[in-house]
Amino acid sequence: MNRSLRGSLVTALTWVLVLAFFFPVFWMILNGFKPESVASSVNPKLFFSPSTEGYQLAMDRGMKGYLLNSVTAAVTATIIAVVLAIPAAYALSIRRVKNVENALSFFISTRFMPLAAVVLPLFMILKTLGLLDNIYMLAVVYGAVNLPVAVWMMRSFFLEVPFEIIEACRVDGAGLGREIFRVALPLVLPGVASAALITFIFSWNEYFLATLLTSSAARTTPPFLGSFVDGRGQFLAVLSAAATIAALPVIVAGWVAQKQLVRGLSMGAIK
């Protein structure tokens, strides 16, 4: 077989596999724009007259409130994680503490601790304090869950800052705040983006803690979606519309920041 023909065949195969893999997402988006009777039909339809009925129904179920809660939780958690991670990572890379390795394994072992290990006391404490179903409390927990990853990742970026720059800044007599925020931080902005992206994605998508620590006022989008499981009758269009809205922010963020994604997922190990 000649080389270019084989190349085209492999390319064709690649596209078939990629599109097959993407199909459930495509189908979700498509179903969201179908009238309910078309979406729930036994014979799948590729062509139909589009409708926003599904989106309307999702909004009628109060989805806007859940989305707002998700935004609050994810943004607050991201701020908490990044603000605490920057100085900590700095102390593990440039202004070094003793026992950097011990501190690093402390963070990583916290990252690997299952949520199941902490959820009961958190629930009981929040219940006692009357802070269950409080969106900021959920955000604080998300901040803690993501902090270790943010620290590791920020550290891997700080390690790449040429030490001469820090040295020059110190010789000039700049204070610590200036050294970190004016000199080092601007050089590692992709790291900040990476840490923020991972925290945002996790917090936006989180289901387990959201189900247990919120009930109505602070309910976020994932448990709202989960409530479709007990639905009766036909609901594929409204479900698909709701799932599309819910998934969209993270999909777009991930598409835009593909490079940061890999480094973030590997906690900075892969550059």
According to CB under 8 A, which residues from 216 to 235 bind other proteins? 221-223, 225-226, 228-229
Taking the complex as a whole, the smallest distance from the CB of residue 111 to other proteins amounts, in Å, to: 8
Residue among 116, 41, 118, 74 at smallest CA distance from 218: 74
- Interaction between residue 247 and other proteins (CB under 8 A): yes
- Is the CB of 48 or the CB of 123 nearer to other proteins? 123
Q: Of these, 100, 129, 189, 217, which contacts other proteins (CB under 8 A)? A: 100
Count residues binding other proteins (CB under 8 A): 110
Q: What is the 3-state secondary structure (H, E, C) of 17-31?
A: HHHHHHHHHHHHHHH
- Interaction between residue 77 and other proteins (CB under 8 A): no
Query: Residue 115 in contact with residue 55, Cβ under 8 Å?
Result: no
Taking the complex as a whole, the smallest distance from the CB of residue 185 to other proteins amounts, in Å, to: 13
- Interaction between residue 22 and other proteins (CB under 8 A): yes
Taking the complex as a whole, the smallest distance from the CB of residue 163 to other proteins amounts, in Å, to: 6
- Is the CB of 52 or the CB of 105 nearer to other proteins? 105
Which burial class, exposed, middle or buried, applies to 123 when counting CB atoms under 10 A from its CB (0-12, 13-18, 19+)? middle
Q: Of these, 114, 130, 232, 233, which contacts other proteins (CB under 8 A)? A: 114
Contacts of residue 219, defined as CB under 8 A and 6 or more positions apart, other chains included, come to: 65, 66, 69, 133, 210
Instruction: Measure the CA–CA gap between 31 and 237, rounded to whole angstroms.
Output: 5
Q: Of these, 51, 72, 134, 205, which contacts other proteins (CB under 8 A)? A: 205
Residue among 28, 41, 48, 58 at smallest CA distance from 238: 58
Query: Residue 183 in contact with residue 239, Cβ under 8 Å?
Result: no
- Is the CB of 123 or the CB of 136 nearer to other proteins? 123
Binders of other proteins among residues 163 to 202 (CB under 8 A) are 163, 167, 170-171, 176, 201
User: Cα separations (Å) of 189 from 105, 184, 199?
Assistant: 25, 9, 15
A 10 A CB-CB count for 134 gives: 16
Taking the complex as a whole, the smallest distance from the CB of residue 168 to other proteins amounts, in Å, to: 11
- Is the CB of 186 or the CB of 254 nearer to other proteins? 254
Binders of other proteins among residues 132 to 161 (CB under 8 A) are 140-141, 143-145, 147-148, 151, 155-156, 159
Q: What is the 3-state secondary structure (H, E, C) of 15-80?
A: HHHHHHHHHHHHHHHHHHCCCHHHHCCCCCCCCCCCCCHHHHHHHHCCHHHHHHHHHHHHHHHHHH
Segment interacting with other proteins, rule: CB under 8 A, options 56-64, 71-79, 97-105, 184-192: 97-105
Taking the complex as a whole, the smallest distance from the CB of residue 122 to other proteins amounts, in Å, to: 5
- Is the CB of 18 or the CB of 217 nearer to other proteins? 18
Taking the complex as a whole, the smallest distance from the CB of residue 207 to other proteins amounts, in Å, to: 5
